Structure 1
Amino acid sequence: MVDVVSAAWVSERLGDVRVVDVRDEWEFDGIGHLPTAASVPFDEFRSTEGDVGMLPGRDAWAELLSDAGITADDDVVAYDDTHGVFAARFLVTALLYGHDPAKLHLLDGDFSSWNREYETTTDASELPDVTYEVTTAEETPLVGFEAVEAALDDPEAVIVDTRDPEEFDEGHLPGAVNLDWRELVDDETRGLKPRDELESVLESVEITPDHRIVLYCNTARRISHTYVVLSHLGYDGVEFYEGSLTEWEARDGAIVRE
């Protein structure tokens, strides 16, 4: 599944992987970026129709990745400058559009942490002229409104709200546990906390491999990071509610307010 890789791992493979920078274009051009990186700003792979933050559509996705010099056979590493939360959304989008999850990697840390030890550049990257072919994933973590509603009564399911505690208190799904996605990252290293700390945080809210895990937030950005972390830790059966609270509330799903 999708994994998290170190800066050293990426540095050794810059010529063999496709690197994607999802920061704003002005950051990519003005501040600098990883060598060989392609710029695919976050706003470009969100839907411009309907609910903000939803998937961009198969054709739009294929065009974006083609322009970035990526093929469906490439190993891809994504990064941002926000602990990986926007980059994780890129990777989960790729997963949902059929890219092999074993070829999807999140940089552990972000641009700022990379910049402490490794080279950056403001030079334009030379990108190959390719065509990205979207495929249909053999398996998908996506679940819809009805599946999540049914999961509320499943004693084996843990419904996980990855927003911050204040948002959680303002309204959440019945029975949901709150795991702010930022609890999984270290502010100093800007990457993930050590594995034992991650497992301790997860276990504290009953997120364990023997449970069915259903993730949601507002528009699926924050759950993308949590999904990647759980995938990296080897969790199976993690479900991804793309519609999240945006759809849940629009369809009058039950809400608990603290």
Structure 2
Amino acid sequence: MNENVVVSADRLADHLGEVRVVDVRDAWEYDGIGHVPGAVNVPFDSFRDEESDAPGTLPGEDAWAELLGEAGIAADDTVVAYDDTHGVFAARFLVTAEAYGHTDLHLLDGDYSSWMREHETSDEAPEVEPTTYEVREPEHSPFVDHEEVEAAIDDPDSVLVDTRDDWEYEEGHLPGARLLDWKELVDEETRGLKPREELEAILADHGVTPDKRVVLYCNTARRISHTYVVLASLGYDDVGFYEGSLTDWEAVGGPIETSSESSE
């Protein structure tokens, strides 16, 4: 991803005919509440593996290719994704796409509720011509395993970031992890990201600075997807994405802290 990963509603409205817009809400929301004109519906649950030992993880290359092909998306398309939850579910879609080699990926700044305030909506699904979606090897993968996370814990040049709620953090977190609830980066009024200067100040207050290697985790990799996109938009270029997150860490017997001292 790059610094242009987040796009404004106004910019999207000006370029609707040039991009593929993906709505990751449930089908009943897409059909019943309406959607961005021309958007295709790829519900969140459709691109998560819920049957493996690590629920919520990547769906697999074949499943992903079939899903996007049925949605009429090609590997070279410019894709803009949105949801109605400040972008956290849409961000997971983008991270999944990046994992399978898609490069031209963007998050709508805000969500459907904010889009509705000033822009046109539609209740008609577009006609979709299926494609043969080509999964590619990504040029760079941010994914890290538990061994790399373990190494980051003792690395003074790395910062481990827990993006969950404070009560989850207090119940148990990885040793030395800083607490940064992903919602701290969201403006409740606009439903999009806070201004760049404010984002940078919040991150710095949590010890998350561009000179550090940043390693993100949550429970099942949904919430870290949003933080990952935010960091990409700010130009952070050394970010580790712990796909297995706390689910994997506990499965391999990784140590857990229960105090809140590391959030300070």
Superposition TM-score tier, normalisation by shorter sequence? over 0.9
Counterpart for residue 69 of structure 1: 72
Counterpart for residue 92 of structure 2: 89
Aligned residue runs from structure 1 range 177-188, under 5 A: 177-188=178-189
Write the deviation string for residues 195-215 of structure 1: whole angstroms up to 9, x where unpaired: 111011000011000000000
CA distance in 2, matches of 1:221, 1:239: 14
* Aligned residue identity for 1:180: D
Once the two structures are overlaid, the 10-residue window that deviates more, 121-130 or 11-20, is 121-130
1:35 aligned to 2:53?
no
CA distance in 1, matches of 2:217, 2:50: 21
CA distance in 2, matches of 1:20, 1:10: 12
Write the deviation string for residues 104-147 of structure 1: whole angstroms up to 9, x where unpaired: 00000000000000011111112233111001112100000111
CA distance in 2, matches of 1:233, 1:249: 31
CA distance in 1, matches of 2:67, 2:195: 34
Distance apart, 1:48 and its partner CA: 2.9
Write the deviation string for residues 86-111 of structure 1: whole angstroms up to 9, x where unpaired: 000000000011111xx100000000
**Aligned to 1:94, what secondary structure does the other structure show?**
helix
Counterpart for residue 262 of structure 2: none
Counterpart for residue 59 of structure 1: 62
CA distance in 1, matches of 2:178, 2:163: 9
Identical-pair percentage: 67
**Aligned to 1:15, what secondary structure does the other structure show?**
helix
**Aligned to 1:29, what secondary structure does the other structure show?**
helix
* Aligned residue identity for 1:29: D
* Aligned residue identity for 2:97: A
**Aligned to 1:82, what secondary structure does the other structure show?**
coil
CA distance in 1, matches of 2:204, 2:216: 15
* Aligned residue identity for 1:63: E
Distance apart, 1:222 and its partner CA: 0.2
Counterpart for residue 8 of structure 1: 10
CA distance in 2, matches of 1:54, 1:21: 19
* Aligned residue identity for 2:158: A
Give TM-score, length-normalised by structure 1. Answer: 0.98
Write the deviation string for residues 190-233 of structure 1: whole angstroms up to 9, x where unpaired: 00000111011000011000000000000000000000000000
CA distance in 2, matches of 1:238, 1:189: 27
Structure 1 residue runs of 5 or longer lacking an equivalent are none
* Aligned residue identity for 1:108: D
**Aligned to 2:17, what secondary structure does the other structure show?**
coil
**Aligned to 1:93, what secondary structure does the other structure show?**
helix
Counterpart for residue 164 of structure 1: 165
CA distance in 2, matches of 1:128, 1:194: 38
* Aligned residue identity for 2:37: P
* Aligned residue identity for 1:78: A
Aligned residue runs from structure 1 range 1-258, under 5 A: 1-2=1-2, 3-50=5-52, 51-100=54-103, 103-258=104-259
CA distance in 2, matches of 1:125, 1:147: 44
CA distance in 2, matches of 1:106, 1:83: 10
CA distance in 2, matches of 1:13, 1:246: 40
CA distance in 1, matches of 2:129, 2:231: 33
CA distance in 1, matches of 2:199, 2:50: 35
Runs of 4+ off more than 3 Å: none
Paired residues, number:
256
**What's the RMSD between the two structures over aligned residues?**
0.7
Once the two structures are overlaid, the 10-residue window that deviates more, 126-135 or 6-15, is 126-135
* Aligned residue identity for 1:195: R
CA distance in 2, matches of 1:35, 1:132: 23
CA distance in 2, matches of 1:169, 1:219: 17
